[in-house]
Amino acid sequence: MTDIPRRAVTRTAKLASLPLGFAGRTALGLGKRTIGRPAEAVALEVQRRTAEQLFAVLGELKGGAMKVGQLLSIFEAGLPEEVAGPFRASLTRLQEAAPPMPAATTHRVLAEGLGEDWRDRFAEFDDRPAAAASIGQVHRAVWHDGRAVAVKVQYPGAAQALMSDFNQISRLSRLFTPLFPGVEVKPVVADLKRRLEKELDYVDEARAQTAFHDAYADDPDFVVPAVVAQSGNVLVTEWLGGTPLARVIAEGGQEERDRAGLLLFRFLLSGPARCEMIHIDPHPGNFRMLDDGRLGVMDFGGAAHVPAELQWSIGRLLRIGTLGDPEEMVEVLRDEGFLDPDADVDAGQVAELVAPHAAPFAVERFRYSRAWLREQTARGLGLASDMRPGALARQFRLPPQYLAVSRALSGCGGVLCQLEAEGPFRAEAERWLPGFADGDDPDATEPEEATA
């Protein structure tokens, strides 16, 4: 028996309930409008009911469906408060937990990965999962040498379920529109599918986590657990305690939330500089605040390579954005492939579209907030949704090399808004992004001599 629903008929039936429910809610809304209810109130009710069904189904299915729910939950900060408030707790639960698979199934996966004598590797093993992720669950155990460890076990059939989910969800992406107006869900889901194919590979995840662990060894701000063992669909790492970031969002004081936000931002920006990699799955379930004030980081299945030349390009783009020169913005965006070389664009509109992304770095201290995110989202949607011939939205594109970094930073921004965090984010960009402070091309000058 497996825990993840993978039979095609079962999963298809569950996902099929989403459009049926959506159609029912839409009909209900139309009916209520005919008896005089305001359109805004009806739309809000449809949004609320859609969220309720959507996250219930995604959480039950796990796999790719739950992963989509986790991703979209990052955008919760941009939802209207009337909807975001009631569902904040349910989104947190989606990020932190899911029903466990039977112990017998867990034991079978462990035997397939670590061998029939897998119990000999552990001094203790708790059959009750400590946490559930989208493609696997984590058990607390004690390694044979006495170390507390986390044992990540992939759900049997996860690969088949993922592909089935994404094929279904990509066809149903329009259902997310009532929840996240302006978010182009279909390309997000397609990109997520490619990433999840990589996340299924625990060999690759172990390699990435080891690279981060080595880069942040003995760091005063961060803890990346060491990889203890990996084989098949089993990954064993050192145990990471602390307070889940989701709980900090829900219950933390302002000082704690500011600290968590600054460290999260610092970790994402410092990764490329320290090991040429970036953590691209910044949903709150992957982070813990430790008692000593450090940020613990987990789940490196989605880590992406960020070479030095791309780091400089990102710093340069951010610098031009903060300077606010529309003509220079257009020139740099053309150079980096965001605009076609022959695109005829209004430089003022380009600057208006870029401004929200650069705002946190144009001042010494900035406060992220749900209200700010909603305001900036609404400000940019008018330009982004204009699909008339010649409109900026039809000429603007995201070059492939920027996709992973863009996803990481936008996800981080959503979490910072959930935290309502304030901090010196500009200083962090100056510290970690080459090209941001002065914009000098690193190839234009002789490199400094390395020192011990």
What are the residue numbers of the active site? 281
SS3 of 109-125: HHHHHHCCCHHHHEEEE
DSSP output for 273-287: HHHSEE-----GGGE
Closest CA to 287 of 95, 30, 3: 95
Q: Which residue has 């602390």 as its token pair?
A: 242
- Supply 394's token pair: 């039809």
Q: What distance separates the 2 farthest-apart alpha carbons in the chain? A: 77
Grouping H, G, I as helix, E, B as strand and the rest as coil, residue 238 is strand
The CA distance from 120 to 421, in Å, is: 46
If we measure between CA atoms, which residue out of 58, 56, 62 comes closest to residue 5?
A: 62
For 140, the token pair is 């607390």
In order of 89, 176, 188, the CA distances from 85 in angstroms are 8, 18, 25
**Percent helix / strand / coil, the chain, rounded to 5:** 60, 10, 30
The DSSP H or E segment spanning 28 is helix 8-34
Spatial separation of the C-alpha atoms in residues 449 and 445, rounded to whole Å:
12
Q: How long a stretch of residues is the chain?
A: 452
Distance from C-alpha of 426 to C-alpha of 436, rounded to nearest angstrom: 10
Tokens of 24: 């029912």
Q: Which amino acid is at 229?
A: A
